[in-house]
Structure 1
Amino acid sequence: MRFLHLRFPRVTSLFVLCGGLVAVLLGRTAPAHATGGQLVDDYRSVYGTPGVAAAVIDGSSVETIVRGRDGDGDAVTARTRFRIASMSKSMTATAIMLLVDRGRVSLDDPVVKLLPDFRMADPRFTGITVRHILSHTSGLSNDTNNEYVFPPLRTAREIVAALADKTLAAAPGTHAEYHNTNFSIAARIVEVMSGKSFDDFLHTELFTPLGMTDTSSTLGCSDRAEGLSSGYEVVLGVAVAAPEMPGMCVGNGGVISTLDDMVRWLRFNQGTLGAGLLSAGSLAELHTVQPKAGDHALGWQARPVTAGAPPSLVGHGGTLATWTGDMVFSPKTGVAALVLTNGVGDPGLLSTNLLAERIGAPVTPMSNPLTVVNAVLLGLTVGMAALLVTAIVRARRWATRRRAARRPLPALRLVPLALVTVLSVVLPMPIWGAFDVQYWIVTAWLMPLLALFCLTCCVLGAVALGRRVRCYRRAGQAISAPAQPAMVDG
């Protein structure tokens, strides 16, 4: 499942495993010889996605597939605007390569040479190059630079300045770790070296020359934009239009586009549109896996057609709380696929399946692990609520029995309720990789039923704990209070 991959890879690994088990247990697979439209319909059925805009590019032909509705209830079309999230990184990398072609930047320039104000509390930061940040090998990590602070930073300048007291998790150029801040640094380089705002540079130097007239970008992930309706939260097949989670998106995930414009973007990367905008060598470099970078190229990634096969495709996905998308193409065959959605899911699987169907490769089964996860969480929430409400209602009876017992041990008897209350507060944090209260906000957006479960346990657990303690004290006071003498009439 790529839904959480781009920002929360640890959780994604668990969900991918769950998804495989669900596929085996439920037998939910895409048809063996599905057409593009059938694959999209099956995807919507599996994930409950309200709106999908997809395309398959094969030579000069483009198959367009649109389904469902946008956040305003209107039918999705090829000109419906979607947030493309981390697919934006390919555009940021291309903006850098435009500056490379113009002699303003070199991929092996140290970042500090281009951004004299760039500082970190780690002497190794001076070795970070432009190539490192575009291939996620800078050494930056969420372990030492939490990207999910609230309120989020907005401008590229602010994001770079905030690194002054941060350290690196690895020496530059030695280890790949996906980190969005890398591309916010790249956006700042574009601003400084071009003298334009990042959005203005993209508009004038990239989108307009390519005819991408409905494409723009925002600083924040949740900023309002003209013609952009809301995305959706989807839980157990129920879709609810919801605002996007606030976050820093400049350079790494702020682009808003349409299916028509993204088809032009893929054609440009295939070398069939915008000839002369970028040199052939620079375009090829964007798609080339970099040293020590795993499967990372520059704003792109290498990937296989099917699991276990060698990487033969170039692609990139995008994930926010209420928007997901993916794009992929085969340099060998020229076939490309594109998926934009306004809900959560695994668009990377759909885009790869669309491409595989076109070239005659096996289609990978689709399943949604969150269906089972959410069903379990809902059941646990209802069950825990019933148990804790019962504990609250019967607190007086519990206190009376404890007072009457030979060995009451009240503190020991309260431990289970205390554990439920404390653990429910802590649970949402380590799931995302760190103990930080701010991850409660992330949980509320990305896994609302987990947040509901934890909130139920926390509130009802605290109430049950407090009521038992209070009733126990009152029972003790009643036992120790002296009996009042009876009044006798004289």
Structure 2
Amino acid sequence: MKIRDRVSALLAEYGIPSAAVGVLRDGVITEFAVGVKNVETAEPATTETVYQCGSMTKTWTALAFLQLVDEGKADLDEPIRTYLPEFAVADPETTAKLTARHLLNHTNGIEEAFGDPGEDDDIHERMVENIAVAPQVFPLGHTHGYSAALGYAILARIMEVLDGKGWDDVMRDRLFTPLGLSGTNSRPGQVDETRAATGHLIRSLAEGPVVTPMDYLPRAFGPGGGITSTVRDVLTLAQVLLDGGIAPDGTRIVSARSVREMMRSRVPIPDPYMFGPEWALGLIVCDWHGETVYATDGSTIGQNARLRILPDANTAVVVLTNGGPRESFARKVFREILGTVPELPKPDPDLKLDLSRYEGVYERPGTRYEVSADGGALHLTLDLDPMQAEFLGKPARLRYELLPVSPTHFLMPSADPLEDTQTVAIYDFTDGAARYLHTNCRVHPRRGSSIRTPAST
């Protein structure tokens, strides 16, 4: 198979241990796997190998929540306090007006300040309790800023209250069992270890992949990143979305109206180039040369999952890996299967920018970016976590040049062949200087900029 051979060559090029690839076209699945589940055991990967889906989990959680909407138990636009009267954060407006739609499309703006909620079954209840004084990164609804764990944990808590059972049981009863999924679970302890792929990190091509020091994400990331699955099971999810809420065996999972709402309720993404220009309800909306394509992606510490859904072609493609760069490998596989795939934009060398408007420190707890002007160009310096830097053999501070694509968008190439070129948005010049830096879907406020409601900006 030409595509299989091409994927094998790409694995060698990137140093990735394995990949499982599946194509759903007009209801028919074609799948294959190449490489090994674990470099230490050299056991081959198969189409039954279970990979970590990371934030692709959010699409599963969104789908289950919309079942509750179908049943009239929940509403996308009712305040969260309708279902969780105890819910509160530092900002009174967010406390009063936050809705499920804000959580689903990542416009809630709440800092991920949920502390250590432990690993027990009351974890989502504790996360909601722990954010009583959590500040706003940006005003409610003001911009898009990805919530890795908190937003979907709040949704999970609503689901627990409405269904009277834990989120893991909700997912099993509402999705996994009705869909007949034999390889999909929401907790590490449920995974058949004989089928599980091991995550790997790659410090250099010469050294090759090494087993990740973190087997699974903490349980706090469960509703937003804890699902493990197989190629065929992920494509079963895709078929539900392609077929207006109906499973391959004819079972209705959600209403056609809810699937349309998932796809059509959208907010703009400040950085439109890395993933897509809009975010829907648990889905990314991409523009592939005029064709609307939906994406749901995820990464853990050493594993990556990428799904593209093409309604016009009645097609979906999934790529699951256990190591390597997150974007460039999958993009090349998609290109082999689907033909033309959008590339990153080219920098515009003729742009004349007032560099002083971009300079500053943009930060959130655990992440700090410093943008500075040097020699007529902008540079970004990222402070790495010391333990991460030591494990990866990288310096504590990484410096990149920012190449302008537009007055608000930049390419951030790396000299490291194992590191993908990133895209960055620096935007919102309400006060003259930029207020936010957006990269990898995360938003970081500029130090010294005030958090104000949209009406006052």
- Work out which of the residue numbers 132, 136, 139 in structure 1 matches 2:109: 139
Residue 82 of structure 1 pairs with residue 16 of structure 2: no
- The answer as to whether partners of 2:383 and 2:396 remain within 8 angstroms in 1 is no
- The answer as to whether partners of 2:217 and 2:300 remain within 8 angstroms in 1 is no
Deviation digits for residues 142-201 of structure 1, max 9, x if unmatched? Answer: xx4357x67977621222112111121222222111112111111111111111110111
Amino acid at match of 1:187: A
Amino acid at match of 2:171: L
In structure 2, the CA distance between the partners of 1:224 and 1:103, relative to structure 1 (3 Å rule), is closer
Q: TM-score, normalised by structure 1?
A: 0.64
CA distance in 2, matches of 1:138, 1:280: 26
CA distance in 2, matches of 1:166, 1:89: 22
Deviation digits for residues 200-233 of structure 1, max 9, x if unmatched? Answer: 1111110111111221112xxx778432353112
1:95-244 to structure 2, matched below 5 A, reads: 95-125=64-94, 126-140=96-110, 144-146=111-113, 155-180=123-148, 181-218=150-187, 225-227=191-193, 228-237=196-205, 238-244=208-214
In structure 2, the CA distance between the partners of 1:187 and 1:195, relative to structure 1 (3 Å rule), is same
- The answer as to whether partners of 1:336 and 1:355 remain within 8 angstroms in 2 is no
CA distance in 2, matches of 1:351, 1:438: 25
Residue 313 of structure 1 pairs with residue 313 of structure 2: no
**RMSD (Å), alpha carbons:** 3.2
* 1:332 corresponding residue in structure 2: 312
* 1:299 corresponding residue in structure 2: 282
- The answer as to whether partners of 1:338 and 1:351 remain within 8 angstroms in 2 is no
CA distance in 2, matches of 1:437, 1:363: 30
In structure 2, the CA distance between the partners of 1:359 and 1:320, relative to structure 1 (3 Å rule), is closer
Bigger helix fraction: 1
Q: Which has the larger radius of gyration?
A: 1
In structure 2, the CA distance between the partners of 1:353 and 1:150, relative to structure 1 (3 Å rule), is same
- Work out which of the residue numbers 378, 394, 397 in structure 2 matches 1:449: 394
Amino acid at match of 2:292: S
* 2:239 corresponding residue in structure 1: 267
Alpha-carbon distance, 1:319 to partner: 0.9
Q: Percent identity?
A: 25
Alpha-carbon distance, 1:242 to partner: 2.5
In structure 2, the CA distance between the partners of 1:56 and 1:123, relative to structure 1 (3 Å rule), is same
Alpha-carbon distance, 1:452 to partner: 12
- Work out which of the residue numbers 285, 288, 307 in structure 1 matches 2:264: 288
Q: TM-score, normalised by structure 2?
A: 0.68
Alpha-carbon distance, 1:51 to partner: 1.2
In structure 2, the CA distance between the partners of 1:355 and 1:284, relative to structure 1 (3 Å rule), is farther
Q: Which runs of 5+ in 1 are unaligned?
A: 1-33, 366-427, 454-490
- The answer as to whether partners of 1:54 and 1:337 remain within 8 angstroms in 2 is yes
Alpha-carbon distance, 1:37 to partner: 1.9
* 2:254 corresponding residue in structure 1: 278
- The answer as to whether partners of 2:217 and 2:225 remain within 8 angstroms in 1 is no
Alpha-carbon distance, 1:105 to partner: 0.2
